[in-house]
Amino acid sequence: MANNVQHLSLYEQIKQYLLTEIELAHLLPHDRLPSESELTKQFSVSRITVKKAMSDLVEQGIVYRIQGKGTYVAASDRSHAAGDPAVKPKITKSVALLLPFINNQHNALLLNGVESILSEAGYSLLFCNTENSIAKEERTIREMVERNVAGMIIYPVDGESYNREILQLTLDSFPLVVMDRYLRGIDTNCVCPDNLKGAQEGVNHLISLGHRHIGFLSTEISGTSSIEDRLAGYEKALAENQIPIDRRYRYVDIELGEPKPIKEKIRDFLLRHPELTAIFAINPGLGLQVIKVASEMGIRVPEDLSLIFFDDFELSEFYSVMPTFISQEENLLGKEAAKLLISIIENPEQDTKKLFFPPKLTIRESTAKPRSARSSI
């Protein structure tokens, strides 16, 4: 069942992306859509997933195919094959969802949750990719205001501690919900996982297995509340279990997107600290690199090194080592963000709300007792 949900989320993500491109007039009537190959690369999904999204849009009369040439945006008054249902008039109330990435399972599930609630309430969704750029995020916010959307849900970009456009929306009492993380110093509505408790639970699990030398791997911490809170949870778990906090075990400036330097940094970190028996990583990107580097170094996971990280990834149950992970319950977060935004739109005088939801620890194959603990049994 889980696989079906993940697959559906990715297909809905592609479908919603194309709908938003049409709604924003980035794609005009009779413009050619990106090819299936292009969409497959852009979203890092299978060709079957892309085909399903395109087929749904054809059936709804939103796009049409020309054999051997491609798929095109349909005109609003375009005639379709006999028996096809008429295209429904567009919903006038629109909500914008701004995400920093569009090609991972985490955001696909957030999108799925948001869309399901908005659709039930009669709102259309404009899905905007900010490409993890503050400048593009600010431009997109201004564009959405100009389009008179009823409200916005914004997932801030990495490293963002302040955004003047979000501050302006807050000062103007514009219906807004910040999702997944929050911006310190800006009093706005937010829906977030409780990253501190999630990290604390994950590290407590490692400690319960007998680990005392636990490393912490992350990208740049400063300015990203979710990472700051995960570090705080890691340190709180150690402190409450009377384990000294050794800052040498923190590696916090690893940048994603450059696999070779990341692998070299992780290899150097493991070589410098052979006493480490466990690693807590802030995301699956870093976690999977740990598994690869450890394998190359002859370090077995979990026999020699236990590993836990935030967020699952697609088809993880088929990975060489099924990872123990902390789920942010993304579908729930998306639903709650949409519910809160609708409530704000319909009752704008209400007080600001900050909602935090407990993540869920899923224990699988990448964590085990350290060798020293097992040998003493």
Amino acid 163: pLDDT: 80
Q: Comparing 10-14, 34-38, 226-230, 361-365, which segment has the lowest mean pLDDT?
A: 10-14
Q: Comparing 252-256, 296-300, 356-360, which segment has the lowest mean pLDDT?
A: 252-256
What is the residue-wise DSSP string for 31-60? PBPPPHHHHHHHHT--HHHHHHHHHHHHHT
Using omega within 30 degrees of 0 as the cis cutoff, is the peptide bond preceding 302 cis?
Answer: yes
Amino acid 372: pLDDT: 64
More confident: 307 or 88: 307
Torsion angles phi and psi, residue 232, rounded to 5: -65, -40
Total number of domains constituting the chain: 2
Query: Alpha-carbon dihedral of residues 52, 57, 63, 65, nearest 10 degrees?
Result: 30
Amino acid 253: pLDDT: 77
CA torsion sign for 140, 142, 144, 147 is: negative
More confident: 152 or 11: 152
Q: Which helix (H) or strand (E) holds 181?
A: none
**Residues 280, 203 contacting (CB under 8 angstroms):** yes
Q: Has residue 19 got a pLDDT over 50?
A: yes
Amino acid 137: pLDDT: 94
Amino acid 152: pLDDT: 97
Helix (H, G, I), strand (E, B) or coil at 241: coil
> Is the pTM higher than 0.85?
no
Amino acid 45: pLDDT: 77
pLDDT band at 377 (very low <50, low <70, confident <90, very high): very low
What's the domain range around 296?
195-328+361-375
In a domain, 306, yes or no: yes
pLDDT digit string (tens) for 148-192? 899 999 999 887 666 889 888 988 899 999 998 888 778 899 999
* Residue 73: CATH number of its domain: 1.10.10.10
Amino acid 88: pLDDT: 43
Angle at 94 between CA 43 and CA 38, to 5 degrees: 20
pLDDT band at 260 (very low <50, low <70, confident <90, very high): low
The helix-helix angle for 36-43 and 2-23 (nearest 10°) equals 120
Q: Comparing 37-46, 77-86, 254-263, which segment has the lowest mean pLDDT?
A: 77-86
More confident: 181 or 247: 247
Q: Has residue 20 got a pLDDT over 90?
A: no
Q: Has residue 86 got a pLDDT over 50?
A: no
Q: Has residue 7 got a pLDDT over 50?
A: no
74 shares a domain with 208: no
pLDDT band at 105 (very low <50, low <70, confident <90, very high): confident
Q: Has residue 206 got a pLDDT over 90?
A: yes
Q: How many residues does the chain have?
A: 377
Q: Hey, what are 295's tokens?
A: 């394998």
* Residue 220: CATH number of its domain: 3.40.50.2300
**Residues 10, 43 contacting (CB under 8 angstroms):** yes
Identity (one letter) of the amino acid at 146? E
Q: What number of other Cβ atoms are within 10 A of residue 211's Cβ?
A: 24
In a domain, 139, yes or no: no
**Residues 218, 281 contacting (CB under 8 angstroms):** yes
371 shares a domain with 232: yes
365 shares a domain with 235: yes
Amino acid 52: pLDDT: 77
pLDDT band at 204 (very low <50, low <70, confident <90, very high): very high
d(CA 214, CA 250): 9
Highest mean pLDDT among 45-54, 196-205, 259-268, 368-377: 196-205
Q: Has residue 358 got a pLDDT over 50?
A: yes
d(CA 234, CA 196): 8
Domain boundary among 90, 111, 143: 90
**pLDDT mean across residues, the chain:** 86
In a domain, 368, yes or no: yes
In a domain, 216, yes or no: yes
In a domain, 299, yes or no: yes
pLDDT digit string (tens) for 25-52? 888 888 899 988 888 888 877 777 787 7
Q: What number of other Cβ atoms are within 10 A of residue 369's Cβ?
A: 18
85 shares a domain with 199: no
Helices (H) then strands (E): counts for the chain = 12, 14
Amino acid 97: pLDDT: 96
Domain boundary among 37, 70, 90: 90
207 shares a domain with 85: no
In a domain, 157, yes or no: no
Q: Has residue 6 got a pLDDT over 60?
A: no
Q: Comparing 59-63, 158-162, 336-340, which segment has the lowest mean pLDDT?
A: 158-162
Identity (one letter) of the amino acid at 60? Q
In a domain, 172, yes or no: no
Q: Hey, what are 230's tokens?
A: 């995960």
171 CB-contact burial (10 Å; exposed 0-12 / middle 13-18 / buried 19+)? exposed
Q: Comparing 42-46, 130-134, 251-255, 257-261, which segment has the lowest mean pLDDT?
A: 257-261
Domain boundary among 42, 60, 90: 90
In a domain, 271, yes or no: yes
220 shares a domain with 369: yes
Q: What number of other Cβ atoms are within 10 A of residue 23's Cβ?
A: 17
368 shares a domain with 240: yes
> How far, in Å, are 53, 123, 215, 225, 274 from residue 261 at the CA level?
36, 44, 19, 25, 20
Q: Hey, what are 7's tokens?
A: 């697959």
Highest mean pLDDT among 210-224, 252-266, 275-289: 275-289
d(CA 221, CA 259): 19
